């Protein structure tokens, strides 16, 4: 499912956006493990792997100064950042499997309907997006970013547990907590 142009796009993403180096692969790996635990198989796992790697592709269109900003974003900068799922969808909708493009579009939708870009809730959000949201949040919390140091894995696990049913799909969280219990969560290298 990953052709040469997709591989080149992934490399460009990682070269242009420093925070994405390694992040997209960890998100993809964790998403596949979560999907497997949820009973996804075959093509759905391939779609999940690809969507996990490309979930932030829309950030290529954003100002690098915003992406690497060490402090809090202004309201205007936050609004620009919130456009990246739609930008990523626009880049992929005619080039990739529609389910992959949709997973990219909806990966910041929250289970309780307070996400973006559309405020979808619960089962309105494709399962691939609900899985990527958990994987992305975990890796974002446990990785060094321009705007924050890496948080302890235990803190990130507790945060995901606390937000089950609000930010995150409870079924995905249940599988995530099982992986955490078995010490099967990916670890970012301290940077």
Query: Domain for residue 11, yes or no?
Result: yes
Range of the structural domain that residue 98 is part of: 4-181
Is 43 among the domain residues? yes
109-157 pLDDT, tens per residue? 999 999 999 999 999 999 999 999 999 999 999 998 777 889 999 999 9
Residue 10: strand, helix, or coil: helix
Residue 100: inside a domain: yes
Q: Is residue 118 part of a domain?
A: yes
Its pTM stands at 0.92
Helices (H) and strands (E) in the chain, counts: 10, 0
- 159 lies in some domain: yes
Number of structural domains (the chain) is 1
Residue 189 lies in a domain: no
| Domain assignment of residue 170, yes or no | yes
Instruction: Evaluate if residue 1 carries a pLDDT over 70.
Output: no
Closest CA to 26 of 5, 56, 68, 61: 56
Asked whether residue 191 is domain-assigned, the answer is: no
Lookup: tokens for 178: 């099982």
Q: What is the CATH number of the domain that holds 33?
A: 1.10.3210.10
Range 33-69 burial, b when 16+ CB lie within 10 A, else e: bbbebbebeeebbbbbbbbbbbbbbbbbebeeebbee
């Amino acid at each position: 499912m990953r052709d040469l142009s997709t591989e080149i796009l992934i490399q460009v993403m990682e070269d242009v956006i420093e925070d994405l180096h390694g992040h997209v692969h960890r998100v993809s790996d964790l998403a596949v493990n979560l999907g497997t635990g949820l009973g996804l198989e075959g093509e759905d796992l391939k779609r999940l792997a690809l969507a996990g790697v490309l979930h932030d592709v829309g950030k290529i269109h954003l100002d690098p100064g915003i992406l690497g900003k060490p402090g809090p974003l202004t309201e205007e900068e936050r609004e620009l950042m919130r456009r990246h799922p739609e930008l990523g969808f626009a880049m992929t909708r005619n080039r990739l499997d529609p389910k992959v493009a949709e997973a990219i579009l909806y990966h910041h939708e929250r289970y309780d309907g307070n996400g973006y870009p559309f405020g979808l809730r619960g089962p309105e959000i494709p399962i691939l997006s609900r899985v990527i949201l958990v994987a992305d949040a975990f890796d974002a919390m446990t990785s060094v970013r321009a705007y924050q140091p890496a948080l302890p894995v235990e803190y990130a696990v507790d945060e995901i547990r606390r937000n089950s049913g609000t930010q995150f799909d409870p079924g995905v969280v249940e599988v995530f907590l099982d992986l955490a219990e078995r010490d099967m969560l990916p670890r970012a290298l301290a940077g």
